[in-house]
Amino acid sequence: MANNKWVEVEAKSIDDAIKAGLSELNLQDATQANINILREPEGGVFGVGGTKALVRISVRNGGSRNYSNKRRNNNRSNSNKNTNKNGYKKQYDSKKPRVEADKDEQLKVSIDFLKGLVKSFGLKGDVEGE
């Protein structure tokens, strides 16, 4: 593949756009590509009126042939434990314990959110919870 090959892809999320672009360029993962996020997705109200993510992906110099040899060597040494199979960095540490939120606090936050939502739509109503 020539290094001047590129695509622009629109999708609901940045990850979906990247996956589609990598597939279109026949690349195995993101480490084989230069990825530019041109537009982040913006959600509308209840999924209406939002904009999709837009990314431009080009083949990194050397293409996939050089990378696949490096990838095999990296897998043997386990030197890349902070990335997943697509080359993205992990965003959480599964070894950290989960902390449960207080149920009463969750209820209060939910009620406040729903009251604000009702008010922002100019509706009259009351929100209650137990």
Q: Sheet of 33-39: strands edge to edge?
A: 6-11, 53-59, 33-39
CB 63 within 8 A of CB 29: no
Mean predicted confidence (pLDDT) in 21-48:
87
**Per the domain annotation, does 16 fall within a domain?**
yes
**Per the domain annotation, does 51 fall within a domain?**
yes
**Per the domain annotation, does 53 fall within a domain?**
yes
CB 9 within 8 A of CB 21: yes
| Whether the predicted model's global pTM rises above the 0.85 cut | no
Give the Å distances, CA to CA, from 34 to 55, 58, 92, 123, 129. 10, 5, 24, 47, 49
Higher pLDDT, 36 or 94: 36
Give the domain extent around 45: 6-77
**Per the domain annotation, does 49 fall within a domain?**
yes
What total of structural domains would you count in the chain? 1
The pLDDT value given to residue 44: 73
Mean predicted confidence (pLDDT) in 68-91:
49
